[in-house]
């Protein structure tokens, strides 16, 4: 795996240039530009707050504050958005850059790296504004905020490992991309993002330990809402899956790298 990653440094100019072009093309001819990266998750949080907090009377345990519930939503929505963007874009990355792959010779793993960097930039824009809001509103979580760094690294490792697997499979079996988009929608609602896990039956709460994103999102929410450091032992599943996904993804990529260009 290391031998496959080392050449990426030599092509760092290509990667950074591709990231810049993708970012510019995404907001070209847009009056609001990168503001849309903030407005989309903000709209989701507002809608979910109105529906679940005001209409369905969903409340966090030990808190009746609508603001606390909105922060809870932000913690889940923006981090889930990072996961969904990386996996969703990675599954189509070789098809999206088909013309480039046929014309130029460069390490194919540059493309997943472009996906990760683009998603990270979009995330940091939103994350920076949310952090500023937490400071202004007096809800900054304190030193526990530093725990977000390892959490993000774990999440990105899991996301890109899964994304590479999907990306390679989607080249040969185009139904993979469509199927994963459906799975992603169910996965979102089966993860305690817009509702607290406490409202679920005890049996359903027990099943959440097998949802890798549930423990990860819960760790983010614990930091944002209560300023608590994560219980690292609860993240064993997502860490294990991140390692396995990357090993499988890189092996799958190495085995079929030569066939990808022919298939697209």
- Give the per-residue pLDDT at 107: 74
Q: Which of 250, 232, 239, 225 has the alpha carbon at shortest distance from 71?
A: 225
List C-alpha distances in Å: 240 to 62, 158, 212, 247, 253. Answer: 33, 9, 9, 11, 20
In a domain, 249, yes or no: yes
In a domain, 217, yes or no: yes
d(CA 77, CA 141): 18
- Domains in the chain, number: 1
In a domain, 2, yes or no: no
In a domain, 18, yes or no: no
148-172 vs 66-90: helix axis angle to the nearest 10? 40
Question: How many Cα atoms occupy the beta-carbon half-sphere of 156 within 13 Å?
Answer: 17
pLDDT in tens, the chain (264 residues): 555 566 677 777 888 888 888 777 776 666 555 666 667 777 777 777 777 766 545 566 666 677 788 888 888 988 999 999 999 999 988 888 878 777 777 777 788 888 999 889 888 888 888 888 888 888 888 899 999 999 999 999 999 999 999 999 998 888 888 899 999 999 999 999 888 888 888 888 888 889 999 999 999 999 998 899 999 999 999 999 999 999 999 888 888 877 877 777
d(CA 240, CA 157): 11
- Give the per-residue pLDDT at 29: 60
List of residues 6+ apart from 196 with CB closer than 8 A = 58, 59, 60, 61, 72
In a domain, 224, yes or no: yes
- Give the per-residue pLDDT at 241: 96
In a domain, 10, yes or no: no
Q: Which of 75, 107, 105 has the alpha carbon at shortest distance from 10?
A: 107
Q: Which of 82, 111, 92 has the alpha carbon at shortest distance from 220?
A: 82
Q: Are 116 and 160 in contact (CB under 8 A)?
A: yes
Q: What is this structure's pTM?
A: 0.86
Question: DSSP of 164-188, one letter per residue?
Answer: HHHHHHHHH-THHHHHHHHHHHHHH
List C-alpha distances in Å: 196 to 4, 62, 67, 167, 213. Answer: 41, 12, 15, 33, 14
Question: How many Cα atoms occupy the beta-carbon half-sphere of 89 within 13 Å?
Answer: 20
- Give the per-residue pLDDT at 180: 93
Domain housing 249: 34-263
Give the other-Cβ count within 10 Å of 48's Cβ: 21
In a domain, 158, yes or no: yes
In a domain, 24, yes or no: no
Q: Which of 222, 245, 79, 94 has the alpha carbon at shortest distance from 167?
A: 94
pLDDT tens figures, 97-153? 878 777 777 777 788 888 999 889 888 888 888 888 888 888 888 899 999 999 999
């Amino acid at each position: 795996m290391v031998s496959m990653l080392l050449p990426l440094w030599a092509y760092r100019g290509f990667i950074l240039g591709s990231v810049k072009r993708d970012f510019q093309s995404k907001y070209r001819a847009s009056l609001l530009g990168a503001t849309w990266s903030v407005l989309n998750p903000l709209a989701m949080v507002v809608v979910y707050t109105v529906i679940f907090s005001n209409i369905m009377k969903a409340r966090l345990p030990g808190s009746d504050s609508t603001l606390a519930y909105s922060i809870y939503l932000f913690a889940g929505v923006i981090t889930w958005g990072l996961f969904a963007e990386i996996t969703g874009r990675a599954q189509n990355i070789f098809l999206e850059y088909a013309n480039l792959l046929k014309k130029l010779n460069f390490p194919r793993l540059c493309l997943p790296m472009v996906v990760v960097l683009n998603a990270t930039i979009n995330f940091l824009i939103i994350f920076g504004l949310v952090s500023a809001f937490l400071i202004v509103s007096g809800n900054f979580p304190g030193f526990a905020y530093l725990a977000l760094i390892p959490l993000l690294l774990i999440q990105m490792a899991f996301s890109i490992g899964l994304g590479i697997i999907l990306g390679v499979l989607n080249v040969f079996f185009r139904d993979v991309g469509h199927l994963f988009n459906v799975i992603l929608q169910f996965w979102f609602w089966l993860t305690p993002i817009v509702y607290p896990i406490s409202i679920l039956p005890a049996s359903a709460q027990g099943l959440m330990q097998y949802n890798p994103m549930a423990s990860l999102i819960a760790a983010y929410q614990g930091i944002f809402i209560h300023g608590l450091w994560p219980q690292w032992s609860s993240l064993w599943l997502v860490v294990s899956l991140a390692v396995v996904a990357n090993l499988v993804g890189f092996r799958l990529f190495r085995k079929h790298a030569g066939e990808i260009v022919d298939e697209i």
